[in-house]
Structure 1
Amino acid sequence: MNILGLIVEYNPFHNGHLYHLKKSKEVTKATHTIAIMSGNFLQRGEPALFDKYTRARAAVENGVDLVIELPTMYACQSAEIFAHGSIAMLNSLNCVDCICFGSEEGSVDILSTISDILVREPQEFRSYLKNYLDDGALFPTARSSALFDYISNNNLIDISKEKLLDVLNSSNNILGIEYIKSILRLKSNIKPFTIARVQSEYNSEAIESSICSATAIRKSLKDSSDINTISDVVPLNTFNIISEKISTNFNPMFDEMYYNILTSTIARDVNILNQYFDVNEGIENKIYQSIFTTSSLLDLQLSIKSKRYTLTKIKRILNNILLGITKEDMESVKTMNSMPYTRILAFNDKGREILKKIKINSDIHIVNKFSNISFAINDENFKKLIDYDVKASNIYNLIYYRNNRDLLKGPMDFYISPIYIKQT
């Protein structure tokens, strides 16, 4: 058994994901696949298009064997925290042989070299970095220059300064570097692979071919009531699942739907806003003032945005406020080296084989149903992570079930079981 780990959001699962899945299996020679998938809120600080079980089902129907939820506390944060939580989860299973991620670079050697330097921080590199910072360079610029000097002077790889800057400024490369850094820090035996992204830029909003970005698909679903606009860019299984959800009045979710809940939370918590994760340097005052002068989430985000705070950073900050993620709680879990539990969302027959191997190789708790978690109720980290997952699902579902209130029984994490897809 050769188990491949994938770190995903599948928001939604599209043709590019299918290409990545097939290519990853090919380059790693994997026999089984595990996807660590974000739950109902995602890394850019926004709700998922459809709920986590629906997205997990689409993943398994399209060829993933086992889908495990990445705890919310990691899923909604910066690349470093997101990557660390994901790799720590895969490593804790004690059966994953490799990971394969998409990148703009397409070469794991370059990304591994950069990662190794950033983890080891050799004295020569630190001296270069200090000199650039002393000269007044901003940290990202200083770090890039120091990396180039160290790589060049030690003949590690043949790369120009322009190429290095391009690598360090590309979204998926950044995530890939963080994955490898976490593998190194955890001294994990998981082997990293990468494949180049094809045809579409990560944030491109245009549907121009059969492979486009998830951003473009979400925009199409937001702008048009005709689901057929995405029929050529998602696998048939995904298209059928989305069609089924919409036909039963579970419509796509977008971040502005939470504007009223968010602003109410900000108004209520004005005196404790600075306790939420990433709310620093007095930005809580700007956030509070802005809820009275804006009428939409985008207006609110743009009114807070500055040179120091990018739009994505602002979205994550507001999401932390929405979900109540505090600095104190994040500090206690963000550097955990092992996960106390793994939560199953969907699986097939091969997924069952993986679960059997996890049970043999690891002492991690496998959560199938919430009725089974009483054994860990005294584990503070377990309880903290689970509590945030439940809270995030509850907030998400208040809007997601708006057209199906009769189906909302309460905290739905206690009512929905993992989805089993029988292989044919």
Structure 2
Amino acid sequence: MNILGLIVEYNPFHNGHLYHLTKSLEITKATHSVAIMSGNFLQRGEPALFDKYTRAEIAVKNGVDLVIELPTMFACQSAEFFAHGAITTLNSLNCINSICFGSEEGNVDVLYVVSNILVEEPKEFKDSLKNHLDKGMLYPTARSLALFDYIDKYKLLDISKEKLLSLLNSSNNILGLEYIKCLLKLKSNIKPFTISRVSSSYNCENIDSDICSATAIRKSLKDFNDLSLIKDVIPYITYSFLKSKLNSNFLPMFDDKYFDLINSIVLRDCDILNKYFDVNEGIENKIYQNVFTSTSLKDLQLSVKSKRYTLTKIKRTLNNILLGITKDDMNLVKNINNMPYIRVLAFNDKGREILKTIKSNSDINIINKFSNISFNMDDDVFKTLINYDIKASNIYNMVYYQNNKHLLKGPMDYYTTPIYVRNTIK
């Protein structure tokens, strides 16, 4: 068994994801695939369009064999923490042979060289970094120049300064570097692969080919609420699922639906906002002041945004406030080297084979039913991670089920079991 690991959000699963899955299986020669997927809240600090079980089932019906939830505390954070959570999860399974991720660079050897320098931090690199910082440069710029100085001196890569700077500022390259850095730190046997992103860029908002970014698809759904406009850029399986959800009055979720709740939390916790993760350097005062005058969540986000704090950073910060993720709790879990559990969301017959292999190779707790989680609640890391997963689902579902309150039984993590998909077409 040759098992491929994927790190995904599938928000929603589109033609580019199908290409990535197909190509990843091809270049790794994998026989089975596991996707570590963000749950109901995502890395950019926003809710998923549709719930995690729907997205997981769509993924399996499109060819993924097993979908495992990335714990919420990692799923909603910067590239460093997101990657650490995902890679640590895959590594803890003790049976994953490879990972494959999309990148703008497309050459894993280039990313590996850069990642290795950042992990090893050789003295000459650190001296160069300090020298650039002493000139008053911002850290990202200083680090980029220090990397180029070191790479150029030892001829580690044939790369120009401009290309290296571009590489270090591209969204998927940044994630790829963090994946490899984490593999190196864990001394993992998982082998990294990458494939070049095709067609639209990560943040492109235009639909102009049969492969476009998830950003463009989400924007189209938000602006027009019309599936026909995205029908050609998503697999038919995805289209049919989304159509069924809309027909059942489950509407796509966007962060502005939580504006009032965020405002209430900020006003309630105005004196203790700095206990939340990523709320630093007095930004809590700016958030508090602008809550009174902002007319929408976008308005609030833009009013807090600055040269120092990007819009995505602000979105993640507000999301941490929404979910109640504190600095103390993040400090407890952020450096773990073994994930205490996995939450299975969906699987097929090959997925069952993977789960059997995990049980044989790892002592990780496999959660199928939440009624069984009490077995490890005396473990502080386990308890902290799982409680945020439950809390995030509850907050998400209070809005997601607003048109279907009769279906909301309570904390839905306790009422929903993994989805078994039989006879998935590969």
Q: Please show how residues 323-338 of structure 1 align to structure 2 within 5 Å.
A: 323-338=323-338
Q: Counterpart in 2 of 1:297?
A: 297
Q: Distance in 1 between matches of 2:18 and 2:287?
A: 40
Spell out structure 1 runs of 4+ moving beyond 4 A.
Answer: none
Q: Is 305-314 or 217-226 further displaced after alignment?
A: 217-226
CA offset digits 1:69-99 (Å, max 9, x no partner): 0000000000000000000000000000000
Q: Counterpart in 2 of 1:17?
A: 17
Q: Counterpart in 1 of 2:318?
A: 318
Q: Counterpart in 1 of 2:268?
A: 268
Q: CA deviation at 1:192?
A: 0.2
Q: CA deviation at 1:225?
A: 2.9
CA offset digits 1:346-397 (Å, max 9, x no partner): 0000000000000000000000010111210111111100000000000000
Q: Counterpart in 1 of 2:359?
A: 359
Amino acid at match of 1:245: K
SS at match of 2:343: strand
Q: Distance in 1 between matches of 2:225 and 2:112?
A: 44
Q: Counterpart in 2 of 1:64?
A: 64
SS at match of 2:96: coil
Amino acid at match of 2:394: N
SS at match of 2:4: strand
Q: Distance in 1 between matches of 2:225 and 2:106?
A: 36
Amino acid at match of 1:159: I
2:244 aligned with 1:244: yes
Q: Counterpart in 2 of 1:48?
A: 48
SS at match of 2:345: strand
CA offset digits 1:21-54 (Å, max 9, x no partner): 0000000000000000000000000000000000
CA offset digits 1:118-172 (Å, max 9, x no partner): 0000001111111111111111111011100100111111100001001000000
CA offset digits 1:161-191 (Å, max 9, x no partner): 0010010000000000000000000000000
CA offset digits 1:285-323 (Å, max 9, x no partner): 110111101110000001101111100000000000000
Amino acid at match of 2:352: R
Q: Distance in 2 between matches of 1:122 and 1:204?
A: 37
Q: Distance in 2 between matches of 1:275 and 1:102?
A: 35
Q: Counterpart in 2 of 1:226?
A: 226
- The percent identity for this pair of structures is 72
Q: Please show how residues 179-258 of structure 1 align to structure 2 within 5 Å.
A: 179-258=179-258
CA offset digits 1:323-362 (Å, max 9, x no partner): 0000000011011111000000000000000000000000
SS at match of 2:102: strand
Q: Distance in 1 between matches of 2:203 and 2:160?
A: 26
Q: Counterpart in 2 of 1:280?
A: 280
Q: CA deviation at 1:226?
A: 2.1
Q: Distance in 1 between matches of 2:271 and 2:369?
A: 37
Q: Counterpart in 1 of 2:116?
A: 116
Q: Is 129-138 or 233-242 further displaced after alignment?
A: 129-138
CA offset digits 1:221-279 (Å, max 9, x no partner): 11113211111000000000000111001110000000001100111111110000010
Give me the TM-score of the superposition, normalised by structure 2.
0.99
Q: Distance in 2 between matches of 1:411 and 1:225?
A: 28
Amino acid at match of 2:205: E
Amino acid at match of 1:190: I
Amino acid at match of 2:311: L
Aligned residues: 424
Q: Distance in 1 between matches of 2:136 and 2:273?
A: 32
Q: Counterpart in 2 of 1:383?
A: 383
Q: Distance in 1 between matches of 2:26 and 2:291?
A: 50
Q: Distance in 2 between matches of 1:100 and 1:146?
A: 28
Unaligned runs of 5+ in 2: none
Q: Distance in 1 between matches of 2:315 and 2:192?
A: 30
RMSD, matched Cα: 0.6
Q: Distance in 1 between matches of 2:269 and 2:411?
A: 23
Q: Distance in 2 between matches of 1:83 and 1:225?
A: 32
Amino acid at match of 1:227: L
Q: Please show how residues 20-99 of structure 1 align to structure 2 within 5 Å.
A: 20-99=20-99
CA offset digits 1:386-410 (Å, max 9, x no partner): 0000000000001000000010010
2:370 aligned with 1:370: yes
Q: Counterpart in 1 of 2:306?
A: 306
2:331 aligned with 1:350: no
Amino acid at match of 1:160: S
Q: Counterpart in 1 of 2:105?
A: 105
Give me the TM-score of the superposition, normalised by structure 1.
0.99
Q: Please show how residues 147-186 of structure 1 align to structure 2 within 5 Å.
A: 147-186=147-186
